[in-house]
Amino acid sequence: MADPLQESDDDPDCLWEAIEGTVKGVAKKILGKNEKLKSKPWFDEECELWFERRKKARLENLSNTDNEVEEICQQVERQTREIYRGT
């Protein structure tokens, strides 16, 4: 196997690619692949359900100008906030 550092001593881009590849390869071999953590671990199935309810209520409120629909939408949004905050 040819050494990429000796093949292209003049080209800085090739040197950098070789160094970068070596560092990344060794790091992956030693440290292993890092698993990505969930960004919002508190957002569970219940939160997802309330999120969908709120979204549906908002769309219904936009398509209907009735005050009763607006009140229902506000109530769903309040309940959703309470679920999110855990109160």
pLDDT digits (tens, 9 = 90+) for 15-70: 999 999 999 999 989 988 878 777 777 788 888 999 999 999 989 888 887 888 88
Residue written as tokens 């309040």? Answer: 78
pTM: 0.48
Per DSSP, the three-state class of 76 is helix
Which residues lie below 8 Å from residue 77, measured CB to CB, with a gap of 6+? 54, 57, 58
Encoded tokens for 74: 């506000």
